[in-house]
Amino acid sequence: MTSPANIVVFDLDGTLIDSAPDIRAAANLVLVARGHVPLSLAETHQFIGKGAANFIAQMCVARGIPADQSAGYLEAFLEHYVSAVTETTVYPHVFETLAQLRSIGLVLGICTNKPLKPTQSVLAHLGLDQFFTAVVAGDSHSVRKPDPLPLQDAIAQCGTGRALYVGDSEIDAETAARAGQPFALFAQGYNNTPLADIPHTARFDDFRDLPEIAKRVLGG
């Protein structure tokens, strides 16, 4: 009988990719067309993490846009967001690390609050889609992170081995805790909380350190 393969599931924005410039560009197309001041990159970082609807809700508050108009802004944003890939970059050493994790027998997945179509677009554009057995996005379920269901689903799609969740934020940490899974914190992402205050099993700044973390946490 083949033994279960262990699993590593990743958040996407701020963990594997720096997508804030593209998210900002898509949002600013909507804002500027309606006569509003564009978002700064710092504001964009602050608003990322809880899904597109939450991002637009925070954007509307920041620009004094009435809440009853946010649905229209979200619809317009999503039209641009699907193709917002040209300014997104992969963090250093992600490609070789994902290849190494696969080579040592780990099954990889994605659990993100980013909507599915933009997720698929950016993964394909960057050539990252080849690595992942499961992709669970912000609209894959009726709930999103920090609810544990999306992470539990991503793990279940990957198999039955032990799992590690990798992310960059307090939202990811809470998701892992609620799902009962260990959490590795990428310290160079979009977190809005001091790193010392984010619960984690392990912390890293360089993706080249992740394989050893995975071996230590998952065994083998």
Which of 66, 81, 96 is the last residue before a domain boundary?
A: 81
The total domain count for the chain is: 2
Do 198 and 131 belong together in one domain? yes
**Does residue 92 share a domain with residue 76?**
no
Query: Do 13 and 105 fall within a single domain?
Result: yes
Share of the chain above pLDDT 90, in %: 95
End-to-end CA distance of the chain: 18
Q: Which of 8-12, 47-51, 149-153, 184-188 has the lowest mean pLDDT?
A: 47-51
> How does pLDDT run across 100-109, given as a tens digit for each residue?
999 999 999 9
Same domain, 55 and 152: no
Q: Are residues 11 and 24 located together in one domain of the fold?
A: no
Q: Which of 81, 103, 120 is the last residue before a domain boundary?
A: 81
CA atoms within 13 A on the CB side of 75: 5
Task: Clarify whether residues 118 and 31 are in a common domain.
Answer: no
Mean pLDDT along residues 69-95:
96
Q: What does the mean pLDDT of the chain come to?
A: 96
Q: For residue 178, what are the domain limits?
A: 7-18+88-218
User: Known catalytic residues?
Assistant: 11
